[in-house]
Each structure stands twice: as structure tokens, then as C-alpha cells.
Amino acid sequence: MNRRRYSELPDEALMTRIVQGDELAFNALYARFERRLHGFFYLRLGQDQAAAEDFTQQAFLKIIERPEAFDPAYCFATWLFTLAGNLVKNEHRRRQRLSRRLAALPTPARIALPADHRALDQQQWDQWLGQALEQLNPVQRDCFLLRYQQELSIRDISEIMNCPEGTVKSRIHHALQLLAEQLAGVAHHR
């Protein structure tokens, strides 16, 4: 079947072919939905272009990994955007957990945060937190995220990062100080 014929097939028929391992069917489905899915993620993830691209790829990766999860008795577009919505919900939950963990951290991270930071729009707060994390140097950010996002022990982080436990603690401490300064500055300027 040539590419033109694939473009004429309904979404559900393409998914049936994808289950059978048809790569051209996947390419046709990708071409059909990539822009719409990207727009969906862009709007729901705070107009973050990089996140929208990552989540678009994640959604299509889920199709590749488990195409049989789609029931051809249903509308593919509905299924795809339900899957996308679930990815967004999971990401928002992950960001909320990270925000709560950061807010619950002992000094110095809590010292500089204004009392009303919880009144900020959650999406805006998450965006600011993400920007603050980006300002950390990569090893500090990695140690911080492994500790507070992935909830790994200092020992596990030490093994992953191939450095002494004291170095991990120091990196996390410095990351907390920098985050507190950056987030406090942003919250005061809103």
C-alpha cells in the first residue's frame, strides 16, 4: 500500500495496522495528529514549547509500546486525547508533589518564601519553580531532583552520581539555597 492510500484510511484502520507492526501506518497517524497533539500539550503545560514536544513524543511512544491498548470499537481521536489528558494530569500531580516537597523543606529553602506563595496560581508557581530549577548547575539540579522528585536516598544518589555522600548533601544544600533565593525573588516581584 502506498503512502497516499494510508492517508485515506480512517484512524482506527491505521491503528489496526500498527498493532500488526505496520510502520507506514504509524507514520501516517503521526503526520495526522502530531500538530494537534502538540497544540494540546502546549496549551495545557503552560505554553512551554519544549515540554509540549516532549509530551507529544511521549504520547506517540505509548502508541508504539502498546498499540493493542486501543479498542478499535471506539474513536481513535477520543482515545488519543484521553491518553494525552492523562499524561498532563500525571505531570501536574508530579509538579504539585515537587512544589509541596519544596515548600515543606526545612531551612534554608523555606526561609525566603513569602507566606502567600501558596495563593499563586498553581500553574504559574510550577512554571517559576521549573525556571528556578533550570538556573541550577546540572549536578545540583540532578541531585535535587533525585532526592525530592524521585525520593532516592543520599546513598543511592551517591552511587548514581558516582560521588561521595557528603558531596551529594552539599550539592542538595546549595541547590536549596539557590532555589529559595530565586523563588523568593520571583514571588516578591509578582
pLDDT of residue 2: 66
Sign of CA dihedral 174, 179, 180, 186: positive
Q: Is the pLDDT of residue 114 over 80?
A: no
**pLDDT tens digit string along 62-94?**
999 999 999 988 889 989 998 999 999 998 888
Of 8-17, 22-31, 178-187, give the lowest mean pLDDT range.
Answer: 178-187
**pLDDT tens digit string along 5-21?**
998 999 999 999 999 99
Domain ranges of the chain: 3-93, 105-188
pLDDT of residue 180: 82
Is the pTM higher than 0.85? The answer reads no
**pLDDT tens digit string along 95-112?**
888 777 776 665 444 444
pLDDT of residue 72: 85
Which one is the CATH code of 3-93: 1.10.1740.10, 1.10.3680.10, 3.40.50.800, 2.60.40.10? Answer: 1.10.1740.10
Fold of 105-188: Arc Repressor Mutant, subunit A (1.10.10)
Q: Is the pLDDT of residue 22 over 80?
A: yes
pLDDT of residue 111: 41
**pLDDT tens digit string along 129-164?**
778 888 888 888 888 888 887 777 898 888 888 889
